[in-house]
Chain A
Amino acid sequence: MGILMLDDMDRAILRQMQADPAMTMPELAERVGATPARVIRRVDRMMADGIIAGQRAVIDWRALGFAVHVSLRITLDKTVTRAFDDFLAAAREVPEVLEIQTFLGRVDVRLSLIARDLPDYQRLYRDRILTLPHVADIEALMDVANVKSDMRLPI
């Protein structure tokens, strides 16, 4: 996949949209100093090119009673050919898994897991995580506090 050429106006639009995705087109146009028609054309083009993939609502799981957030760092048994595929398919079946990442490094997979409280976490860990296929090792790290999470790209 090639890198698409963005000019200063495109970058200004993306910076503003990252800061506030809910902004209307006239507001956005005013911020970047262009006409709304021009900004809409640019946004449409960046959507068609797949640069802007959309926007999603961010859910605060703590507000829904999920107080425990754990990062599970998993090493898989790579002697099994289908280890990754089998593991990922089974992990997708656990509703409390919010994110699945695969890596090149010491860790193969990271699961971001939420639970209501520690007993709930213990139950999930025993019944749903330790039973996932081809796991060689698991390390659990408890999330204490989120310091920064805007996920912005430094465009």
Chain B
Amino acid sequence: MTLDDLDRQILQALQRDAGLSTTRLAKRLGLSQPATWRRIRRLQDAGVIAGRRLLLDAEKVGFGVTVFLGVKLATKGRVSLEDFERAIGAIPEVQTVDHILGLYDYRLRVVARDLADFERVLRRRIMTLPGVGDVEANVLLSEERRPGPI
């Protein structure tokens, strides 16, 4: 899908605040409310707007530690990737799972209350899964999300 300037402005605005009403967005863009709504609908139908995400302050709700985990599977071929993905995805503390190519097979984003809690999740839930080999943990210090090329 190709975007024009108005589409770009809509995406930028909704990336910052998806709760923005169509009325306020329309006013900001100098468009009519139905025209704005049609454009949002078109971006949704084309799959460009894939959904909404609630932004929570993890620390304030008690998750003080986020760790990015690189996981290498030890016994490829013997372990089904589907089984591993299903099992790892079912762990509530595992927020994201990406299958990657390179140094590791999977990148996981794991949240925990503190480092002791993370160690518990890692040892009891993740390391016990069949096929898990080398694991590299990097503790998140800061994070920012950029608007991207729009």
Interface residues of B in 82-122 (CB under 8 A from A): 85, 88-89, 92-104, 106-107, 109, 111
Q: Mark A27-45, 1 if CB is under 8 A from B, else 0.
A: 0000000000000000000
Q: A103-B140, A152-B95, A154-B93 are in contact. Are A63 and B47 (CB under 8 A)?
A: yes
User: Which segment, of B28-36, B52-60, B126-134, faces chain A?
Assistant: B52-60
Q: Which of B63, B64, B143 contacts A101 (CB 8 A)?
A: B143
Contact of A17 with B54 in the complex, beta carbons under 8 Å: yes
B148 to chain A, nearest CB (A): 5
Question: Does residue A143 face the partner (Cβ distance < 8 Å to B)?
Answer: yes
Q: Mark A44-59, 1 if CB is under 8 A from B, else 0.
A: 0000011111111111
A89 to chain B, nearest CB (A): 12
Q: A57-B11, A59-B11, A139-B103 are in contact. Are A103 and B68 (CB under 8 A)?
A: yes
Contact of A110 with B68 in the complex, beta carbons under 8 Å: yes
Please report the number of residue pairs spanning A and B whose Cβ atoms sit closer than 8 angstroms.
Answer: 203
Chain A residue with the shortest CB-CB distance to B54: A21
Q: A71-B107, A144-B100, A153-B61 are in contact. Are A101 and B140 (CB under 8 A)?
A: yes
A54 to B16, CA, bound (A): 9
Chain B interface size, as a band, is: 35 or more
Contacts of A154 in B (CB 8 A): 92-93, 111
Contact of A99 with B95 in the complex, beta carbons under 8 Å: no
Q: A98-B146, A105-B136, A114-B149 are in contact. Are A55 and B97 (CB under 8 A)?
A: no
Taking Cβ atoms with an 8 Å cutoff, the residues of A that contact B are 1, 3-4, 6, 14, 17-18, 21-22, 49-61, 63-66, 71, 73, 92, 95-107, 110, 114, 139-155
Taking Cβ atoms with an 8 Å cutoff, the residues of B that contact A are 1, 3, 11, 14-19, 46-64, 68, 85, 88-89, 92-104, 106-107, 109, 111, 136-146, 148-150
